[in-house]
Amino acid sequence: MQREDRIIVGGLALAFVLQLALWPLVPALVASHPALLELVRGSVTSIVNMGARARVGETSLVLAVVLGVPSLMMFDWLFWWAGRRWGDGVFLWLLGGPGGRNERRLARLHRLEARFGPSAVVLAYFLPIPAVLIYAAVGDGGMRLWVFLALDILGTLLWTATLAAGGYALGQEAVDAADALARYSLWATIGGVVIITAWSAARRSGP
């Protein structure tokens, strides 16, 4: 691989590792530090939680909308770059390899990109297609990076605003659910870590 290919692959691997590494933060921060959780993870749960806390006066609805944007967009440019550099190869890789079904999905994706282009980036989170495939498609289609980033910011804000508004509408019910998640999921996470550690130790000490 050339230097550019190594950057793309390394960045995508880092994105996957970060998702796994940050997962235990959900029960730890969802009630105690909801703004920090949204800032570093930008998950649906964290944004809805912040919207609900805005309803009960614990935070600002504007913060609930904007805090998740950086983490949600952090690696989007890599998928755009992968599409720009690798073309159709990146789609087959993301879809799991060549095959009749994936070839048909690829053809539909190209039709979507050709017909909607910029609109597809803005609505990527709402479409029944993984957003990363749309980002790669517009990169392959020749969209400039600055145009992609501007549309991506708009689309991500639309998504976070929708989630925050949903949390705001739920209000105290969502806050109570998040607090319960913080209580019980933390113990479930600790229990899972203990079980995995014990299982690994048993395998190492076995015949």
User: How many other CB atoms are there within 10 angstroms of residue 109's CB atom?
Assistant: 21
- Predicted confidence at residue 196, as pLDDT, reads 42
pLDDT in tens, 158-185: 999 998 998 888 888 767 766 665 554 5
Give the structural domain span for 111. Answer: 3-205
Considering its fold, how many domains does the chain have in total? 1
Residue 12 banded pLDDT, cuts 50, 70, 90: confident
Average pLDDT score over the chain: 79
The predicted-structure confidence for 104-163, as pLDDT tens digits, reads as follows 777 777 777 777 778 989 999 998 878 888 898 888 888 899 999 999 999 999 999 998
